[in-house]
Chain A
Amino acid sequence: MKHLLSAADLSHGEAVGVLDAAEEMAQATRERRIKKLPVLQGLTVVNLFFEDSTRTRISFETAAKRLSADVINFSPKGSSVSKGESLKDTVLTLGAIQTDAIVVRHPASGAPHRIAHSGWTGASVINAGDGTHQHPTQALLDAMTIRRHLMGPDPVGRDLSGLDIMIVGDVLHSRVARSGVALFTTLGAQVHLVAPATLLPVGVEQWNCTVSYNVDEALADYPPDALMMLRVQHERMSSAGGGFFPSPQEYTREYGLDSPRLERLAPHGIVLHPGPMNRGLEITSQAADGPRSTIVEQVANGVAIRMAVLYLTMSGLKE
């Protein structure tokens, strides 16, 4: 695989292959006092972030450095949307300094796809989140986390068959949800989306998942093995029509993960959140910090997943 642009592009075999490679990466770095592996020595990775990000950029940077690649972080002040240098000219500039891989985060859906397929660069392109489209490495690290917890003591080689995964919240603006639905279903899980209709895209009824508007009914109808709470993305929300829901209080009452809802999970059930969290809005601290929470572990797994993705795209190896 040359690029990773969308979780929907991964076949079942490729997806399991990335998860397995990530387990290998995690093990290799866990057992070493010096965590660097020499596999990408001499190659250059540019983290091209047009949008603010803490955990994803740090995660990619750590991953690339652990594989001994040279890393350049580049955060242009404005995108061409805001009349700065055009995306094309930025990418041509990176080409001139012989970049091997571009990890890109961009507010415009499809920007990584354009970078990869417009003849602007020959580098590998890894999507680190584009607009409201995709965030494939997030879905992969979520799948890795779920697999570790729910698919037995030795998850290598396994997929997510038989699991019910529930995603609750702002699906409309969420690239995490879009990536998750694609990847989890590819891996054999059944996905259940729960949100107010204002935060679901028209067309979602044709996605390969169930859709419901009521958390409490959904928890009864599709008891989830993994429950993912999405962040309410205020920064992407239009204020037209007075907003997408009447008030934060009502959102929390209707869709927030509080202790009563947490207690309804099966004994093995886990809680995920892609971060950054709005504590008290979509998730209470009891849920976020409780024993079912895998939120910190998700971040750790993110490094292993990004090592695997960089390795697989840059070394040109298939699964």
Chain B
Amino acid sequence: MRYVIKEACLPDGQTADIVIQRGKIVSVGRAASGQGGTVTGEVTVVDAAGLVALPGLVDIHTHLREPGQEDSETVASGSRAAAAGGYSCVHAMANTNPVADTAGVVEQVWRLGREAGYVDVRPVGAVSVGLEGKQLAELAAMARSVARVRVFSDDGVCVADPVLMRRALEYVKGFGGVIAQHAQEPRLTEGAQMHEGLVSSELGLAPWPAVAEESIIARDVLLAGHVGARLHICHVSTAGSVEIIRWAKGRGIAVTAEVTPHHLLLTDDSVRGYDPLFKVNPPLRSAQDVAAVRAGLADGTIDVVGTDHAPHPAESKDCEWAAAAFGMTGLETALPVIYQVMVESGLMTWADVVRVMSSGPAAIGRVADQGRPIAPGEPANLTLFDPSARWLVVPEDMATTSANTPVAGRQMHGRTVATFYRGRATVLQGKVI
């Protein structure tokens, strides 16, 4: 199949026609439709006037829930949700059941991703056996497996033991791996339910202090600097975390960081109605924290956007706050949220969006063939985004199996119109194919 994408706006602002064929971008330029190799088979013309063309998005932080929690998501349904959101690659977190702490499980997830065929599913391996924080999992076996794991994380729980963290950071240097830390000091957050501040004091919900995140990040950037290893910080949510990471980068420490769309958009004021749709780990923070993570993403202190897409079945949210699960879906609304919060506001350009949602995450995950520029010869992973579209989020209409989106009923700014994965259209006219 050959696609001719007419008059797309490239991230640098230029308008071009993009021709893709046999999984590759064949040509990029004016009136390219007649050139760039022999025409074979069908040609589909996509009118992209007014649309922004981006390299396929890469999510560094996704929960696909399979194996073990298929009632909330499967690799197949999560892959479709990713495609719907403009992604061509996702990193599937390890907190499945069984935990992805062996070559066998990561290969299973990788294979399910290949079978689904909507995105590259890159399994994340657990740092510790069973996410228990006691013993290193067989990290090299996962790295050498067909899944070629490079990102390791106990996400959902913190690698709290400083010695285990040090060993993990050192060990993965042997194969270019990175430890993605869920920074949450466990003792400071026992039973914690929401960000500690005025709102928690009024609502009487057990508080989750910012320092529980910041103290772990401070420790780990020092450890990473000490042993000369790569460290990635998951879902940075506080102003203090941004400052510590900025300081560490200034010292030349190899730390990268991500922020979620919801921490860029929402504050702890959302919790006032006790609706568990707003219950998430780390918790929604104060307005000052939101301003700081926005600024940090814009100035590069925070490298990437990670969705932390965390589907849950209805009963895990249709209950009282304390009984509810932590987590929100995000794959299908990430790009509109980033567009509204960061681009429309003037904080970032489209080139910055490419950096934080495609090339940056691909570099952290060491994913070849993803996050590449839109240029001839590159893999045909592309997203077409219509910034002028406005749509209401209806949870039941989304590709994800779960409905726990924090932006239900909100108007989104912009919409993914088409996604191409290795030359195949996975989304056309806003519909997953």
Contacts and interface: CB of A to CB of B under 8 A. Distances in A.
Interface of A: 8, 79-81, 86-88, 106-111, 113-114, 117-118, 130-134, 175, 178, 201-204, 206-207, 238, 240-241
A118 B318 contact: yes
B222 interface: no
A110 B319 contact: no
B207 A110 contact: no
B305 to A, nearest CB: 29
Contacts of A87: 319-320, 323
B202 interface: yes
A113 B273 contact: yes
Contact of B201 (A107, A117, A131, A204): A204
A134 B200 contact: no
A203 B202 CA distance: 8
Contact of A81 (B198, B202, B322): B322
A80 B276 CA distance: 14
A94 to B, nearest CB: 15
B320 A133 contact: no
Contacts of B199: 203
Given A202-B197, A203-B196, A238-B191, A108 B318 contact: no
Q: Which of B187, B199, B202, B205 has the most CB of A within 10 A?
A: B202
A117 B273 contact: yes
Contacts of B318: 86, 88, 118
Given A108-B323, A113-B273, A201 B191 contact: no
Nearest to A115: B320
Given A118-B318, A133-B205, 11 more contacts: A87-B319, A111-B320, A113-B273, A114-B320, A131-B322, A202-B196, A202-B201, A203-B200, A204-B201, A238-B191, A240-B187
Contact of A86 (B201, B207, B275, B315): B315
B323 A203 contact: no
B391 interface: no
A178 B202 contact: yes
A202 B196 CA distance: 7
Interface string B203-219: 11111010000000000
29 contacts: A79-B320, A80-B323, A81-B320, A81-B322, A86-B315, A86-B318, A86-B319, A86-B323, A88-B315, A106-B320, A107-B322, A108-B321, A108-B323, A109-B204, A110-B321, A113-B273, A114-B274, A114-B320, A117-B273, A132-B204, A132-B205, A133-B203, A133-B204, A133-B205, A175-B204, A178-B202, A203-B202, A207-B202, A240-B187
B42 interface: no
Nearest to A132: B204
Nearest to A173: B204
A203 B321 contact: no
B321 A109 contact: yes
A79 B203 contact: no
Nearest to A118: B318
Nearest to A80: B323
A8 B318 CA distance: 25
Interface of B: 187, 190-191, 193, 196-207, 209, 273-275, 315, 318-323
A240 B190 contact: yes
Contacts of B320: 79-81, 87, 106, 108, 110-111, 114
A241 B190 CA distance: 11
A181 to B, nearest CB: 9
Contacts, number: 91
A262 B249 CA distance: 59
Contacts of B275: 114
Contacts of B196: 202-203
A175 B204 CA distance: 8
Contacts of A178: 202, 204
A132 B205 CA distance: 7
A110 B274 contact: yes
B201 A109 contact: no
Nearest to B190: A240
B274 A201 contact: no
Contact of A238 (B190, B193, B198, B274): B190
Contact of A114 (B200, B203, B321): B321
Nearest to B274: A110
B207 A202 contact: yes
Contacts of A130: 204
Contact of B205 (A86, A109, A118): A109
Nearest to B196: A202
B197 A203 contact: yes
A210 B323 CA distance: 34
Contact of A203 (B187, B191, B198): B198
A240 B185 CA distance: 13
Nearest to A241: B187
A239 to B, nearest CB: 10
A80 B319 contact: yes
A110 B203 contact: yes
| 9 nearest A-B pairs in the assembled complex, by CB-CB distance | A203-B201, A110-B274, A133-B204, A132-B204, A201-B201, A108-B322, A203-B198, A109-B204, A111-B320
Contacts of A86: 315, 318-319, 323
B239 to A, nearest CB: 16
A207 B205 contact: no
Contacts of B193: 109
A175 B315 CA distance: 27
Nearest to B276: A114
B315 to A, nearest CB: 7
Given A113-B274, A206-B198, A201 B323 contact: no
Contacts of B273: 113, 117
A127 to B, nearest CB: 12
Q: Which of A118, A130, A203, A240 has the most CB of B within 10 A?
A: A203
Q: Which of B198, B205, B273, B322 has the most CB of A within 10 A?
A: B322
Q: Which of A81, A114, A130, A241 has the most CB of B within 10 A?
A: A114
A118 B274 CA distance: 10
B133 to A, nearest CB: 18
A108 B324 CA distance: 11
Contacts of B201: 201-204, 206-207
A81 B276 CA distance: 14
A114 B319 contact: yes
